[in-house]
Amino acid sequence: MRVINFLSILTLGISLVSASPLHPRQAKQPPLMGKWDIVGDSKIATMHIFRANNKEIYMIDKLEVNKIKQANGNPAISGVYNIETNEVRALNLATDTFCSAGSFFANGTLIHAGGAEAGLGYNVGFQSVRFITPSDPNPDWSEIPDGLSTARWYPAMASLPSGNVLILGGSAKGTGKNNAAINNPTYEIWTVGGAPRPQPVDFPFLVETMPYNLYPFLHVLPNFENKQLAFVFANTKGIVYDLDTATVVSKVPDLTGGIRSYPLTGNSLLLPLRPSQNYKPVVMICGGNTAMEIKNPALASCGRIDPTETNPQWEMDNFGGTGRVMPDSVILPTGKVLYLNGAQVGFAGYHQGPKTNPLYVSDNPAFTPFIYDPETKGWTTNLAPSTIARLYHSVATLTSDGRVFVSGSNPQGAVELNSKYPTEYRVEMFTPPYLQTGLVRPVITSVAGTTKQLEDTRFPATYKQALEVKVTKGQEKSFLTAAIIHSGFITHSQSFSQRYAMCKVISAEYDPNNPNDVTLNIEMPPNPTIIPPGPSYLYILDNGVPATFSAQILLSSA
């Protein structure tokens, strides 16, 4: 029996090929990589989505007359999209979900909070709290119409290391820029079931960052002291906040260049965490704008920062050379980041004027996605463009097989199908370049000793546990790596709680009778500040090519 130790192999191998510069007239354009496919019809406009398992995307919209109805005859504003069949099943709600947010509890239940005015047979949703557990036999929403302590529209949410969920900020009603009369500079922390009902805690940072403080960027920071630390950013400012003591730990310098928050909406994510770097937290914020002007060009800049450093400083980047407002970001199994969607001018909001001659507040759609490599800090821009404009209220998330689910765009207050930028129901799948290499993909054949229904089973795991995963590799010179991803809740260029952690591959044992069959022992992340407890997905890669599906994991502390 041949055993190879992989403790020292923690990151993917990356090779860069450079060539001598050519005269501009001689320069050859590199071939376009990646592929777009229109695969289905969402039936419901996808203002918000989350990945529930390996086969389903849950969708949530605002009040409007979508293509299907829920059980009581009201237009459906929530549903389940099956990735395999491209079919849609309506879910049932009673309150308005417009511009809300969500996150997972440790037990796998998603809590969804906030909303807006009543209409179309739905009740007011500003203080509503909703719950759904996708693993239930027949999952559907339950609601507490007045569950929140205060009204919240455009709040941020995060899954916490404790297994609870943080709900932060928002406004008392819909608006463009926030204002003091409706600002909600508080937060509350929910436990499973919501008992006792949480009370709001003052959060002055959301006063200091007026008027651009809606959907504040929010990331739980990894640490080894069992602290619940959050990085919160709005407008141009950021702080590190201790949720256990309700105190500001530190502030970071202002991010220069322009405004990054709604309605001059940029994007923020916590870059992949790697054990070789002791899970160093680096936040990257990209895009936005300088003013609420329709023709104003979007920001073509990004800032990277480790907010836990003693003297943190922003490291600036050019966002691949193209400005975007309302961009989405998806961390890929390789640890690289896909940026897509959005506009190159304007700001987030509905079009102005009549339907017959609308004036769009954002335009010049960014059809071409970019891929960012956090290790080399380089950009891949020669990717195939989409043919569909994805503007206000667009979304994207990673799927089990390594493709990216892309949907939405609805820059108007009600369904419009014949506009320049219509309510968009077409669903696309983007195939990243790593699925075009021609290399054979590994196949997961066993998880924790189980060989049946692997794609449909969610496997319990604990922090630091060595999880046994068997794979059939297809490449002669294999380089097997593993990463665990929490997909988060996606809306308005935010992916609340999206996380990526590289896993240590402790050992690889090859079957002497079939050397393509490999037993891996994969160490789960060391604590819940790295990846929150609850549902996540384990990806196995061979030379940067992900397996045919991911293993569903339910992480817990015990």
Of the three residues 435, 468, 483, the one that is the final residue of a domain is 435
Is residue 25 one of the residues assigned to a domain?
no
What does pLDDT average to over the chain?
94
Tens digits of residue pLDDT in 420-460: 999 999 999 999 999 999 999 999 999 999 999 999 999 99
Are residues 405 and 3 in contact, defined by beta-carbon separation less than 8 angstroms?
no
Per the structure block, which two tokens stand in for 340? 């897509």
Position 14 pLDDT exceeds 50:
no
Cβ neighbour number for residue 387 with a 10 Å cutoff: 10
pLDDT above 70 covers a percentage of the chain that reads: 95
pLDDT at position 6 over 70: no
pLDDT digits (tens, 9 = 90+) for 320-361: 999 999 999 999 999 999 999 999 999 999 998 887 788 999
- pLDDT confidence band for 496 (50 / 70 / 90): very high
pLDDT at 27: 58
Residues whose CB falls within 8 Å of the CB of residue 421, separated by 6 or more in sequence, listed in order: 351, 360, 365, 389, 391, 409, 411
Whichever domain contains 547, its CATH number is 2.60.40.10
Beta strands per DSSP E along 184-282: 186-190, 201-202, 217-221, 229-234, 237-242, 247-252, 267-270
Residues 411 and 519 in one domain: no
Map 64-87 to HEC letters. Answer: CCCCCECCCCCECCEEEEECCCCC
CATH code of the domain covering residue 362: 2.130.10.80
Q: Check whether residue 399 and residue 490 sit in a common domain.
A: no
Q: What are phi and psi of 337, to 5 degrees?
A: -120, 130
Q: Prior bond to 31 cis, omega within 30?
A: no
Mean of pLDDT values over 514-538 = 97
Same domain flag for 327 and 408 = yes
Distance CA 114, CA 47 (A): 14
Same domain, 206 and 219: no
Closest to 409 in 3D by CA, of 419, 318, 369, 537: 419
What letter would DSSP give residue 310?
Answer: S
**Per-residue pLDDT, 400:** 98
Tens digit of pLDDT for each residue in 359-407?
999 999 999 999 999 999 999 999 999 999 999 999 999 999 999 999 9
Q: In angstroms, rounded to a whole number, what is the distance separating the alpha carbons of residues 448 and 19?
A: 46
pLDDT given for residue 194 in this prediction: 78
What does the pLDDT read at residue 16?
29
* Segments of 196-255 assigned E as strands: 201-202, 217-221, 229-234, 237-242, 247-252
Q: Is the pLDDT of residue 262 over 90?
A: yes
Q: Give a yes or no: residue 1 inside a domain.
A: no
Residues 357, 399 within the same domain: yes
Show the domain range for 467.
441-554
Q: Looking at the structure, tell me whether residues 143 and 252 fall in a common domain.
A: no
The count of domains in the chain is: 3
Give the end of a domain, one of 150, 185, 210.
Answer: 210
Residues 421, 464 within the same domain: no
- Report CA 163 to chain centroid distance, whole Å: 19
359 vs 6, higher pLDDT: 359
Residues 6+ apart with CB under 8 A from 104: 110, 111, 159, 165, 486, 489, 497, 532, 534, 535
Q: Please list, in sequence order, all residues whose beta carbon lies within 8 angstroms of the beta carbon of residue 458, skipping any fewer than 6 positions away.
A: 53, 108, 135, 535, 552, 553, 554
pLDDT tens-digit series, residues 70-116: 999 999 999 999 999 999 999 999 999 999 999 999 999 999 999 99
- The answer as to whether 22 is a domain residue is no
Q: pTM surpassing 0.75? A: yes
Separation CA 410–CA 401 (nearest Å): 27
Mean pLDDT of 203-226: 98
- Among 210, 232, 258, the domain boundary falls at 210
Strands of 13-151 (E only): list them.
35-41, 48-51, 56-60, 78-82, 88-90, 101-104, 110-113, 129-132, 142-144
Same domain for 342 and 420, yes or no, is yes
Tell me, yes or no, whether 139 lies in a domain: yes
Residue 275 has pLDDT above 60, yes or no: yes
Do residues 489 and 426 touch, judged by C-beta distance below 8 A? no
* pLDDT for the residue 277: 97
Among candidate residues 106, 519, 109, 460, the one with its CA nearest the CA of residue 129? 109
* 249 burial type by CB count under 10 A (0-12 exposed, 13-18 middle, 19+ buried): middle
List C-alpha distances in Å: 365 to 323, 386, 419, 421. 11, 10, 15, 10
